[in-house]
C-alpha cells in the first residue's frame, strides 16, 4: 500500500475532515459562533427553532418562513403507533439513549430515502426529525414508568411542549425559555465525535434517520454527551463543600478525569458553561436554591487552581445537569436532551455534506503480522 499522505494522529486531533461554514470556535478566546453570530447573542435573542433554521439553511428565516417552519414541526410532533408499540417493548431498565437510537433508526422504516438531491425531501426530513425526536424521548420516559405517552399539546411551543410531555405539567414561561436556551447552546459545535459520525454515515448517501441514529449512538458515550449525567453523580459523591478538595486531589493523583472539565478545543472556560451558569442562577431564583450548586462552584474553584495551568476549565456539561435537574429531568435523560438539541447541528452537517459529497474512506497504518500461518484447530495449543 502507498504511504499515507499525512502523519497518523490518534483521535484525528487537528486533522481537518471537512470545510464547513456552520459554526466557528476560538478555543483560546472562548468564542462560539453559529453562522457568524455569537452564541451569547443567539442565547438572548433567538429561539431553538430559529437557531436550527439558521444552522441548517445558513441564514436567519423571515417571519413567514419561521412561522411555517414552526407550524410544520407542530404538525409532525406525533409518532406513529407502530413506533409507540415498538417502544413499549423496550426494557424499562434500558438507557434512554439506546431507546432513542433505536426509535430514530426506526423512522427510516416509514419514510422514503431516495431523493437526497431534492430540497423538499431534505426539508421534510429535517421537519420530521426535529419534530419527533423530543416526542420519542418523552414517550420512552413515560413508558418505562408504565404510563402511556403524553400527546403533544398544540398550544405550547417546542420547548414548553417537550417539558409538558415529559413531566405532564405545563412549565412556567421562564422554565420553558431556559430549556430553549439550553437547546440553542448544545445545537452545534464544529467537528466533534457525533457530528463526524453523522457525516461519515451521511457520506454513504444513506437516509437521514440512519445518519441521526449513528450520531445518537456516538453521543451516548461518557467522553462526549454522557458527561453531564456523570457530573451529577460526581457532585452527589462529593456530597459536601468540605469534601471537594480531597475529592479533586484524589482524582488528579489517580489520573481520574473530573467530569464536566476539559475540552479538546477550549483552553478557557467554555462560553456555553458561562451562559448555563447564569441560567442556573436565574432558575434557582424561581425554584429555590440548590445545594449542589454550592458544591459545583467549589469544584470549579479547586479545578481552576489545580488544573487551570493545563487549560482545563468547566465545559458545557458542567452546569447543564444542574439546570436539567431543576427542570424535573432525570439524570439518565440528560444526554437525550443533548441529542434533542444537537440534532440541529447534525442535520446542518448532513445537508452541507450532501452538497459536496465524497464517501469517507480514510486509510490506516498496518502494524500486524504479514506472514501469518493457518494452523488447523487440532494442532493449536
Ligand atoms: N480531569 C482531569 N484531567 C484532565 C481532564 C479532566 N476532566 N481533562 C483532561 N485532563 C488532563 C489529562 O489527564 C491529560 O493530562 P496529562 O497531559 O498530564 O496526561 C491532559 O489533561 C490532556 O487530556 P486529554 O484527555 O488528552 O485531552 P483531550 O483533549 O483528549 O480530552 C476530553 C478532552 C475527552 C473532553 C477530556 O477533557 C475529558 O475526558 N473530560 C471529562 C469528560 C467530559 O467532561 N466530557 C465532555 C466534553 S464536552 C462535550 O463533549 C460536549
DSSP lists the bridge partners of residue 31 as 26
Query: How remote is the C-alpha of 7 from its chain's centroid?
Result: 30
Q: Which three cell numbers stand for residue 342?
A: 444537537
Q: What is the pLDDT of residue 118?
A: 85
Question: Is the shortest distance between the CB of 220 and ligand 1 below 6 Å?
Answer: no
Residue nearest to atom 23 of ligand 1 (CA): 262
> DSSP labels for 139-151?
HHHHHTTTPPPPP
Residue nearest to atom 28 of ligand 1 (CA): 264
Question: Is the shortest distance between the CB of 223 and ligand 1 below 6 Å?
Answer: yes
Residue nearest to atom 19 of ligand 1 (CA): 255
Q: How far apart are CA 155 and CA 179, in angstroms?
A: 17
Task: List, in sequence order, the alpha helices (H) in the chain.
Answer: 39-45, 48-57, 63-75, 81-88, 96-107, 119-143, 158-167, 173-186, 193-202, 208-219, 227-238, 244-253, 271-287, 291-307, 317-326, 334-355
Q: What is the pLDDT of residue 264?
A: 86
Largest CA distance in the chain: 75
Residue 116 falls in which region: left (phi positive, over 0), alpha (psi -120 to 50) or beta: alpha
Closest CA relative to residue 32, chosen from 310, 302, 269, 362: 269
Q: How far apart are CA 299 and CA 235, in angstroms?
A: 9
Question: Is the shortest distance between the CB of 262 and ligand 1 below 6 Å?
Answer: yes
262 C-alpha to center of ligand 1: Å?
5
Q: What is the pLDDT of residue 2?
A: 65
Q: What is the pTM of this model?
A: 0.92
Catalytic residue check, 332? no
248 C-alpha to center of ligand 1: Å?
14
Neighbours of 304 (CB within 10 A): 15
Question: Is the shortest distance between the CB of 259 and ligand 1 below 6 Å?
Answer: yes
186 C-alpha to center of ligand 1: Å?
19
Ligand 1 pocket test, candidate residues 262, 310, 335, most atoms within 8 A of CB: 262
- 348, 22 Cβ separation under 8 angstroms: yes
Q: Which atom of ligand 1 is nearest to the CA of 338?
A: 51
Q: What is the pLDDT of residue 1?
A: 58
Question: Is the shortest distance between the CB of 207 and ligand 1 below 6 Å?
Answer: no
Please write the tens of the pLDDT for every residue from 83-107: 999 999 999 999 999 999 999 999 9
Q: What is the pLDDT of residue 202?
A: 96
Question: Is the shortest distance between the CB of 261 and ligand 1 below 6 Å?
Answer: yes
Question: Is the shortest distance between the CB of 321 and ligand 1 below 6 Å?
Answer: no
**Which residues in the chain land under pLDDT 70?**
1-2, 113-114, 116
Q: How far apart are CA 49 and CA 43, in angstroms?
A: 12
Q: What is the pLDDT of residue 116?
A: 66
SS3 sequence of 188-223: CCCCCHHHHHHHHHHCCCCCHHHHHHHHHHHHCCCC
Q: Which atom of ligand 1 is nearest to the CA of 193?
A: 50
Residue nearest to atom 26 of ligand 1 (CA): 264
Ligand 1 pocket test, candidate residues 30, 257, 259, 267, most atoms within 8 A of CB: 257
298 C-alpha to center of ligand 1: Å?
19
Q: Which three cell numbers stand for residue 119?
A: 430540497
268 C-alpha to center of ligand 1: Å?
13
Q: What is the pLDDT of residue 111?
A: 85
Catalytic residue check, 263? yes
Closest CA relative to residue 201, chosen from 189, 218, 187, 186: 218
Q: How far apart are CA 192 and CA 307, in angstroms?
A: 23
- 178, 279 Cβ separation under 8 angstroms: yes
Q: Which three cell numbers stand for residue 334?
A: 440528560
93 C-alpha to center of ligand 1: Å?
30
Q: How far apart are CA 273 and CA 128, in angstroms?
A: 30
Q: What is the pLDDT of residue 359?
A: 97
Q: What is the pLDDT of residue 114?
A: 67
Q: How far apart are CA 264 and CA 252, in angstroms?
A: 18
Q: How far apart are CA 189 and CA 169, in angstroms?
A: 31
**Catalytic pick from 180, 263, 270, 349?**
263
**Catalytic pick from 186, 189, 317, 349?**
317
Q: Which three cell numbers stand for residue 39?
A: 452564541
Q: What is the pLDDT of residue 321?
A: 87
Sequence-distant (6+) residues with CB within 8 A of 10 are none
Q: What is the pLDDT of residue 77?
A: 97
Amino acid at each position: 500500500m502507498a504511504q499515507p499522505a499525512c502523519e497518523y494522529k490518534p483521535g484525528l486531533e487537528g486533522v481537518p475532515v471537512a470545510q464547513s461554514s456552520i459554526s466557528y470556535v476560538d478555543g483560546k478566546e472562548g468564542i462560539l459562533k453559529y453562522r457568524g453570530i455569537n452564541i451569547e447573542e443567539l442565547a438572548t435573542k433567538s429561539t431553538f427553532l430559529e437557531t436550527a433554521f439558521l444552522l441548517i439553511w445558513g441564514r436567519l428565516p423571515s417571519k413567514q418562513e419561521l412561522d411555517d417552519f414552526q407550524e410544520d414541526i407542530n404538525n409532525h410532533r406525533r409518532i406513529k403507533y407502530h413506533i409507540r408499540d415498538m417502544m413499549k417493548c423496550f426494557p424499562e431498565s434500558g438507557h434512554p439513549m439506546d431507546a432513542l437510537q433505536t426509535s430514530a433508526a426506526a423512522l427510516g422504516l416509514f419514510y422514503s430515502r431516495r431523493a437526497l438531491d431534492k430540497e423538499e425531501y431534505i426539508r421534510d426530513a429535517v421537519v420530521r426529525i426535529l419534530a419527533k425526536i423530543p416526542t420519542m424521548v418523552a414517550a420512552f420516559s413515560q413508558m418505562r414508568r408504565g404510563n402511556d405517552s403524553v400527546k403533544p399539546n398544540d398550544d405550547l411551543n417546542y420547548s414548553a411542549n417537550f417539558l409538558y410531555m415529559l413531566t405532564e405539567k405545563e412549565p412556567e414561561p421562564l422554565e420553558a425559555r431556559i430549556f430553549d436556551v439550553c437547546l440553542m447552546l448544545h445545537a452545534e459545535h464544529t467537528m466533534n465525535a457525533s457530528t463526524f459520525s453523522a457525516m461519515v454515515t451521511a457520506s454513504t448517501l444513506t437516509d437521514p434517520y440512519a445518519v441521526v441514529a449513528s450520531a445518537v449512538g456516538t453521543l451516548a458515550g461518557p467522553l462526549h454527551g454522557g458527561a453531564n449525567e456523570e457530573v451529577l453523580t460526581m457532585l452527589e459523591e462529593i456530597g459536601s463543600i468540605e469534601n471537594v478538595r480531597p475529592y479533586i486531589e484524589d482524582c488528579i493523583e489517580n489520573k481520574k478525569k473530573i467530569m464536566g472539565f476539559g475540552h479538546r478545543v477550549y483552553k478557557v472556560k467554555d462560553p456555553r458553561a458561562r451562559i448555563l451558569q447564569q441560567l442556573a442562577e436565574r432558575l434557582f431564583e424561581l425554584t429555590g436554591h440548590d445545594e449542589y450548586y454550592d458544591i459545583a462552584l467549589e469544584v470549579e474553584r479547586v479545578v481552576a487552581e489545580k488544573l487551570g495551568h493545563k487549560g482545563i476549565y468547566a465545559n458545557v456539561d458542567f452546569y447543564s445537569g444542574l439546570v436539567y435537574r431543576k427542570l424535573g429531568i432525570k439524570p439518565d435523560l440528560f444526554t437525550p436532551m443533548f441529542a434533542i438539541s444537537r440534532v440541529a447541528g447534525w442535520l446542518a452537517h448532513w445537508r452541507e455534506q450532501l452538497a459536496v459529497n465524497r464517501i469517507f474512506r480514510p486509510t490506516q497504518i498496518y502494524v500486524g503480522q504479514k506472514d501469518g500461518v493457518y494452523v488447523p484447530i487440532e494442532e493449536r495449543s
